[in-house]
Amino acid sequence: GAVVSQHPSWVICKSGTSVKIECRSLDFQATTMFWYRQFPKQSLMLMATSNEGSKATYEQGVEKDKFLINHASLTLSTLTVTSAHPEDSSFYICSARDAGTAYSEQYFGPGTRLTVT
């Protein structure tokens, strides 16, 4: 089946530094990937849609200069949290849509827990 990986699985960083999270589709091509944020005991909140070879589309209220997204290949999207602050601490999840199917279903990564101290 379709597998999506994320790296790292968890990261601790100091306030003011930047952190990069990678999302890879391992056995399929993904022209579109998605980045979500999940707070404890809450649902997934879509942050942005990452399109291969073009700019990401951000949801309302998400700062594009703070959450930089790059989707340079059909199997890799990266999310960089710039100048991280403690309020950015969260669980970040990516998903990918198989470009070879007509369905809208997404395959999810295991998530990255970010803690900003």
Q: Which residues bind other proteins (CB under 8 A)?
A: 32, 34, 42-44, 46, 49, 93, 95, 97, 103-111
| Closest separation in Å from C-beta 44 to other proteins | 5
Q: Which is nearer to other proteins, 72 or 99 (CB)?
A: 99
Question: What gap in Å lies between CA 80 and CA 88, rounded to an integer?
Answer: 12
Torsion sign, CA atoms 27, 32, 38, 44: negative
Question: What gap in Å lies between CA 10 and CA 34, rounded to an integer?
Answer: 19
Q: Which is nearer to other proteins, 30 or 81 (CB)?
A: 30
Q: Which is nearer to other proteins, 16 or 110 (CB)?
A: 110
| Closest separation in Å from C-beta 83 to other proteins | 27
| Closest separation in Å from C-beta 13 to other proteins | 23
Bridge partners, residue 25, by sequence: 4
| Closest separation in Å from C-beta 105 to other proteins | 5
Question: What gap in Å lies between CA 110 and CA 87, rounded to an integer?
Answer: 21
In this structure, are residues 22 and 35 in contact, taking their beta carbons and an 8 Å threshold?
no
